[in-house]
A and B are shown apart, each in its own frame.
Chain A
Amino acid sequence: MSVQASPTLFMASASAAVAALSDVITFKRVARLGEDALRRPTGSEMWARAVHLCLRAAARGRRGFTSKADPQGSGRVTGELIQHLERLSLVDFGSQEAVARLEKAIAFADRLRAVNTDGVEPMESVLEDRCLYLRSDNVVEGNCAEELLQNSHRVVEEYFVAPPGNISWSKLDEKQPFPHH
């Protein structure tokens, strides 16, 4: 899953975003955030962060999105796994049912263990016996930047505008800076 934000790309877009009047984030704030990411954290900052993480973990546990709450669960889908998957996919489960569905999907997929695949090569494409030809690297079309930019919601000159990319995602951070109990 390659949704990982590329720092350089989005730093460039971030600076372009800064120029846009409608964008909320000010230059100073961006610069400070940027500095924060680059500079190593001090001792007190690390302590605060650890506390923050603990509180976050506690709040997450309270949310009950783990399979322990689910009587039918095989226990494979742990809270940690849920977080991990959500982080990788950048979509959330949304409900206990979604977790239950994942459990069923895994149980379903486990049936494959019964098949003996010793000595069998994985098949990536049914056309593996043929050569796939790529076309020659000549420019035959293009110059349609305007058309392409029309589909985006936020554009500045010829840039797609993105929020700053060097902030690690956390659901709780987005909704509230510190978890409520």
Chain B
Amino acid sequence: MVKDGCAHVKPAAATDLSVFLLVTWSLWWQTGHEDHVGPDPPRIIFSAGKALHRGALGWKAEWLLSIIRLLRLSPTLDGLEVSVALKQGQVTPTELCQRCLSLIKKTKFLNAYITVSEEVALKQAEEAEKRYKKGHSLGDLDGIPIAVKDNFSTSGIETTCASNMLKGYVPPYNATVVQKLLDQGALLMGKTNLDEFAMGSGSTDGIFGPVKNPWSYSKQYREKRKQNSHSENEDSNWLITGGSSGGSAAAVSAFTCFAALGSDTGGSTRNPAAHCGVVGLKPSYGLVSRHGLIPLVNSMDVPGILTRCVDDAATVLGILAGHDPKDSTTIQDPVKPFTLPSLTDVSKLCIGIPKEYLTPELSSEVHSLWSKAANLFESEGAKVIEVSLPHTSYSIVCYHVLCTSEVASNMARFDGLEYGHRCDSSVSTEAMYAATRREGFNDVVRGRILSGNFFLLKENYENYFVKAQKVRRLIANDFVNVFNSGVDVLLTPTTLSEAVPYTEFIKEDNRTRSAQDDIFTQAVNMAGLPAVSVPMALSTQGLPIGLQFIGRAFCDQQLLTVAKWFEKQVQFPVIQLQELMDDCSSVFENEKLASVSLK
């Protein structure tokens, strides 16, 4: 946890005494109300202070800051707060970098990172520090630690896609989105773990092993488990992060970085975001460049953004969005970075609730939270209406056909000749290709390639592939019709339930799980719309549940504005990993034993 306090809080017209009383009361309140879910008085006060004097810092706030540091009142910071802290010299980029690196070491058992680029990050931190000293910071992201999913090419840093096929592959260039972040001065902490080639919904099928959900080790979850008096070894029943950007979600959730890049083809950013209690944004297709993102489905892939709050997601999106001459599928319209307005009045909003998303598999808890959210909007004056997306039940099937077909084509580039794994056989080119691909790809990838090629066979092309393309148009039209009828934003669940234990998850195969878990998220990819998963509340087991907002194409700003309002209303609690951080040694031991016994 980053223990540095807010750098900018300055209660309006406060005298020293009243500030002192405020701080003391906040401390008393927090110690007595650790389990509180919902609006949190100390945070409201800090937010108010923030709103009043963003960026301005007087000597009173500095004094307050040192009190906060002593009392450790503000356990978490969002990116903007840290950015201000950096600008004001409250913390240096090197300090921040080292804290994050030590956190990464402490949370190694989560297996969130494949490669930790320590030297690179420290070097970047040094440069950021020089810039801050001169007062020439590059922007909001200068000196902020970030992580990148391992299917984005990073120059000089191994990019594996969690596959044997690319193990040891070092790209000679940076993906455009990575380059944009580095140009803003962000510190690259490392490459995060994923499902092999981003195929999966659990982050369990990569060659570096599964990613563990930090919430498995949270105080909130563990206390609930103790109440249910489970006698089994806690550490062997850890939960999945969801996928396929599970490593990125876990990295952000465990405070090892402030933002992470994921990719979203069928929900791969929003699914782990919901399970790990972070914000997962899928921008509109065509807004963010895909150059350097190792492609899965060219017509649906989008780089995703994972952060701890909606404001940070908006900041990162503002930097990443825009035309890229290297990606012809990015739109030409100019895009400027934006700050999200703080909505106070939602009475002009129209929220749509798609009735077909109420499936029997939806867990009752998620359902009740979904209803609660709808009621929240209604009670604040928004218009909440039921809408229909009639082809919803076919959308997962359509996605399955299109995805496997495009995958079959995209995976053809891996032949072992120019890069990546190569087998030892040299009898003939085709034999070499076949052996290389057999050794390089796992069952999931091979299965999808074979299915895809089946659908692309001459005799099947019309009946499967073209048919799926037609159904895709019907699905995209469903959304267009709904938005044309006056709806601004759709509100749906992100996942069927909270995160499940790994032992439960692996009972079904990857394809079945993906078909189940992507159900609410993939239709959005097919229509190319923006969507964001916002964590709402904890379940009865103490695990995060997120809800999804879907916006009109290229109206990402409006979507995020609504999401920000919602986030402020629900005040999702912070994950309490403090216990774990301070007392790592015994947990580590158990962890090792647990992981050995699972094999």
Q: Is the CB of B170 within 8 A of A133?
A: no
Q: B467 to chain A: which residues have CB within 8 Å? A: 112-113, 115, 117
Q: Determine if B581 is an interface residue (Cβ-Cβ < 8 Å).
A: no
Chain A interface, DSSP helix/strand/loop, else mixed: loop
Q: A81 to chain B: which residues have CB within 8 Å? A: 454
Q: Is the CB of A90 within 8 A of B437?
A: yes
Name A109's contact: one of B331, B400, B453, B512 (CB within 8 Å): B400
Q: Determine if B175 is an interface residue (Cβ-Cβ < 8 Å).
A: no
Given A91-B450, A102-B451, A163-B432, also A112-B426 (CB < 8 A): no
Q: Is the CB of A91 within 8 A of B441?
A: yes
Q: Determine if B328 is an interface residue (Cβ-Cβ < 8 Å).
A: yes
| Contact size range, B | 35 or more
Given A1-B409, A167-B430, also A112-B286 (CB < 8 A): no
Give A129 Cβ to nearest chain B Cβ, in Å.
10
Give A95 Cβ to nearest chain B Cβ, in Å.
8
Q: B419 to chain A: which residues have CB within 8 Å? A: 151-152
Q: How many residues of A contact B (CB 8 A)?
A: 66
Give A70 Cβ to nearest chain B Cβ, in Å.
15
CB interface residues, B 433-475, toward A, < 8 Å: 433-435, 437-438, 441, 443, 446-447, 449-451, 453-457, 463-464, 466-474
CB interface residues, A 136-180, toward B, < 8 Å: 144, 147-148, 150-154, 160, 162-169, 171, 173-174
Q: Is the CB of B398 within 8 A of A112?
A: yes
Name A3's contact: one of B401, B433, B443, B446 (CB within 8 Å): B433
Q: Determine if B429 is an interface residue (Cβ-Cβ < 8 Å).
A: yes
Chain B interface, DSSP helix/strand/loop, else mixed: helix
Nearest B residue to A166, CB-CB: B428
Q: Determine if B172 is an interface residue (Cβ-Cβ < 8 Å).
A: yes
Q: A135 to chain B: which residues have CB within 8 Å? A: 325-326, 328
Given A115-B471, A152-B417, also A144-B172 (CB < 8 A): yes
B-to-A contact residues, CB < 8 Å: 169-170, 172, 285-286, 299, 325-326, 328-329, 331-332, 391, 394, 397-398, 400-401, 404, 408-409, 412, 415-420, 422, 425-435, 437-438, 441, 443, 446-447, 449-451, 453-457, 463-464, 466-474, 476, 509, 511-512, 515, 526-528, 553
A-to-B contact residues, CB < 8 Å: 1-3, 5, 10, 23-25, 81, 84-86, 88-94, 98, 101-102, 104-106, 108-109, 111-115, 117, 120-127, 130, 132-135, 144, 147-148, 150-154, 160, 162-169, 171, 173-174
